[in-house]
């Protein structure tokens, strides 16, 4: 090989290196052939890999809302919009068009600027709550009953007259037990005063009778408890008194049996300590008379009574007030059989709770939600009672404590959770957001 050929080969090699460098910046792959008098070289230019783009996280609006509220929803739960403000001591009524109507309650522990003056409605399929027109009376611990024509009767409670629009609230304004009643018409969004009841009362129970009349049972009136029974007739727009109960009581439970008799259980016989009741009694609407039934195994107030499909009654939770002491919420449940007139204790190790909700849901189960312990801390576990198998289980958890909440069974098998909260000393938290839950197991 002479000097000229060596020089040519050197130049070709340098060109190869230059082409390789250029190819590293190219997006194409090509074959090149260089030739000389004595040498042929075939080489391939390989492009460098293009860097992959950095992935961008897809926004999750549901998770973002949960983070903003500081909660985590377990399977089966979903958010259903926010009330104007959180509250307790309210009522929830399922209207004939499947909307949910929230009435009254209180938004803080104190009374000043704390009571609610508008109802709120959640239309079926919506997550936006809408305000109703103003009540005539602020109310807490009242009753609300759906009438046959679709209107809602609201009676009693503790509260005061609603101030007019723009009227300044005085520093001190009286709050009292109420005998007033009013009716809400969801078709016109109007409130109409109904005749007053004979007795002022809060913490009473309301039962709708077979003929459409509404029966108000017992309650507290000032420093006394009541055994009086008043019934509202929507046909005549009037109240009348029925035979009084054997025992006066407040914070009790009442349930209509499948034969239309009314079973009343527990409560307190006075507003002082040491008078929690185990006494139960039954009202016969045909005879307009009361008779005692077997006593509960545990005296209790703030408990819940649920009618089972087979006609028995399940009583859960509550607490007992002894003289000078408030015992913790009950961990027991018992069932009443109206045929044998017997109570049977069926559970002794449930999550302790009082002022909770207990609802019958599709699938033959009763679920217990919310409630509190003696110091007002909310109970998170959700328990289920399988009626057929006589079994209890914790099936979920509330995202936050809700004492004195309302739980409304919806026609699609789910339930609506509204209001309630947790009280720790002088600090109270009442969530604005509402929840919907469907059993997933």
What pLDDT was estimated at residue 160? Answer: 86
3-state secondary structure of 69: helix
Mean pLDDT score of the chain: 86
The whole-angstrom distance between residue 284's C-alpha and the CA centroid of its chain comes to 33
Task: Output the six-digit token pair for 372.
Answer: 């509190």
pLDDT, average across residues 175-190? 96
* Residue 62 half-sphere exposure toward CB, CA atoms < 13 A: 9
**Is the separation of the CB atoms in 36 and 8 below 8 Å?**
yes
Percentage of residues in the chain having pLDDT higher than 70: 78
296-321 core/surface letters (b: 16 or more CB in 10 A; e: else): bbbbbbbbbbbbbeeebbbbbbbbbb
> Of the ranges 236-240, 370-374, 418-422, which one carries the lowest mean pLDDT score?
370-374
pLDDT at 146 over 60: yes
Q: Work out the number of other CB atoms within 10 angstroms of the CB of residue 213.
A: 21
C-alpha to C-alpha distance for 179 and 14, rounded to whole angstroms: 105
C-alpha to C-alpha distance for 143 and 140, rounded to whole angstroms: 9
What pLDDT was estimated at residue 113? Answer: 54
For the segment 208-251, what is each residue's pLDDT rounded down to a tens digit? 999 999 999 999 999 999 999 999 999 999 999 999 999 999 99
**Is the separation of the CB atoms in 431 and 418 below 8 Å?**
no
User: 319 or 12: which carries more pLDDT confidence?
Assistant: 319
What pLDDT was estimated at residue 321? Answer: 79
Q: Domain map of the chain by residue range?
A: 3-45
pLDDT, average across residues 348-371? 96
pLDDT at 196 over 80: yes
What pLDDT was estimated at residue 274? Answer: 67
No. of H helices and E strands in the chain?
A: 2, 37
Local structure of residue 438 (DSSP, 8 states): -
**Is the separation of the CB atoms in 385 and 400 below 8 Å?**
no
pLDDT at 407 over 70: yes
64: part of which helix (H) or strand (E)?
A: helix 61-69
pTM of the model: 0.83
pLDDT at 1 over 50: no
What pLDDT was estimated at residue 373? Answer: 81
For the segment 240-285, what is each residue's pLDDT rounded down to a tens digit? 999 999 999 999 999 999 999 999 999 999 987 768 999 999 999 9
3-state secondary structure of 79: strand
pLDDT at 169 over 70: no
Residue where the block lists tokens 């919907």: 436
**Is the separation of the CB atoms in 179 and 156 below 8 Å?**
yes
Closest CA to 192 of 202, 204, 176, 180: 180
pLDDT at 30 over 90: no
- 264 φ, ψ (degrees, to nearest 5): -115, 130
102: part of which helix (H) or strand (E)?
A: strand 100-103
CB-based contacts of 35, cutoff 8 Å, min separation 6: 41
């Amino acid at each position: 090989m002479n000097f000229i050929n060596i020089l040519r080969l050197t130049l070709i090699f340098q060109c190869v290196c230059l082409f390789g460098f250029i190819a590293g910046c190219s997006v194409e792959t090509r074959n090149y052939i260089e030739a000389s008098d004595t040498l042929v070289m075939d080489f391939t230019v390989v492009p460098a890999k293009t860097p992959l783009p950095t992935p961008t996280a897809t926004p999750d609006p549901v998770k973002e809302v949960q983070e903003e509220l500081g909660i985590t929803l377990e399977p089966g739960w979903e958010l259903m919009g926010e009330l104007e403000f959180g509250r307790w001591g309210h009522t929830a009524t399922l209207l004939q068009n499947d909307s949910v109507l929230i009435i009254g309650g209180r938004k803080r522990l104190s009374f000043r600027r704390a009571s609610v003056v508008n109802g709120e409605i959640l239309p079926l399929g919506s997550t936006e709550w809408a305000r109703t027109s103003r009540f005539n009376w602020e109310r807490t611990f009242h009753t609300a009953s759906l009438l046959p024509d679709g209107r809602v009767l609201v009676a009693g409670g503790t509260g005061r007259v609603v101030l007019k629009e723009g009227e300044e609230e005085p520093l001190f304004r009286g709050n009292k037990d109420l005998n007033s009643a009013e009716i809400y018409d969801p078709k016109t969004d109007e409130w109409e005063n109904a005749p007053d009841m004979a007795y002022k009362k809060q913490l009473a129970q309301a039962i709708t009778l077979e003929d459409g009349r509404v029966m108000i049972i017992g309650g507290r009136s000032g420093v006394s408890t009541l055994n009086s029974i008043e019934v509202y007739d929507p046909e005549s727009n009037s109240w009348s008194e029925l035979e009084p109960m054997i025992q006066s009581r407040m914070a009790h439970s009442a349930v209509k049996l499948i034969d239309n008799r009314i079973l009343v259980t527990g409560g307190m016989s006075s507003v002082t300590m040491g008078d929690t009741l185990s006494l139960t009694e039954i009202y016969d609407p045909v005879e307009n008379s009361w008779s005692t039934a077997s006593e509960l195994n545990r005296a209790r107030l703030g408990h819940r009574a649920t009618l089972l499909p087979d006609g028995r009654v399940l009583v859960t939770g509550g607490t007992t007030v002894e003289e000078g002491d408030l015992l913790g919420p009950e961990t027991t449940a018992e069932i009443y059989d109206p045929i044998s007139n017997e109570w049977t204790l069926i559970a002794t190790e449930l999550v302790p709770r009082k002022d909770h909700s207990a609802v019958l849901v599709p699938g033959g189960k009763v679920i217990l939600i919310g409630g509190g312990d003696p110091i007002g801390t909310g109970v998170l576990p959700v328990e289920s009672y399988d009626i057929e198998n006589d079994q209890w289980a914790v099936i979920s958890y509330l995202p936050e404590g809700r004492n004195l909440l309302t739980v409304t069974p919806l026609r699609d098998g789910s339930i609506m959770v509204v209001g309630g909260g947790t009280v720790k000393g002088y600090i109270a938290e009442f969530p604005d957001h509402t929840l919907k839950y469907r059993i997933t197991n």
